[in-house]
Amino acid sequence: MIPNGPLDAIPLWGIFVLTVALVLLAVESGFILGRRRHARVADEQASAVGTMVAATLGLLAFILAFAFSFASGRVDARRTALLEEANAIGTTYLRADMLSEPHRTEIRRLLRDDVDAQLEGVRTVQVMETIRRVDAIHNELWQHTTAVGRDNPNSEVVGVFIESMNQVIDNYARRLLAVRTRVSAPVWFVLYVLTFLALFAMGYHIALTGTSRSPAVVLVALSFALVICLVADLDRPQEGTLRVSQQPMIDLQAMMQADAK
Instruction: Give tens-digit pLDDT for 188-203.
Output: 999 999 999 999 988 8
Instruction: Please tell me the pTM assigned to this model.
Output: 0.81
- Letter string b/e over residues 126-157, b meaning 16 or more CB atoms within 10 A of that residue's CB: ebeebbebbeebbebbeebbeebeeebeeeee
Domain ranges of the chain: 35-260
DSSP state of 29: H
* Share of the chain residues as helix, strand and coil, in percent rounded to the nearest 5: 80, 0, 20
Instruction: Give tens-digit pLDDT for 85-137.
Output: 999 999 999 999 888 888 889 999 999 999 999 998 888 877 788 889 999 99
Contact residues for 249 (Cβ-Cβ < 8 A; gap 6+): 82, 85, 86, 115, 118, 119
Instruction: Give tens-digit pLDDT for 32-53.
Output: 888 887 677 666 666 777 788 8
Quote the CA–CA distance of 138 and 181 in Å, as a whole number: 22
59, 94, 167, 168 from 181: Cα distances, Å: 24, 32, 21, 20
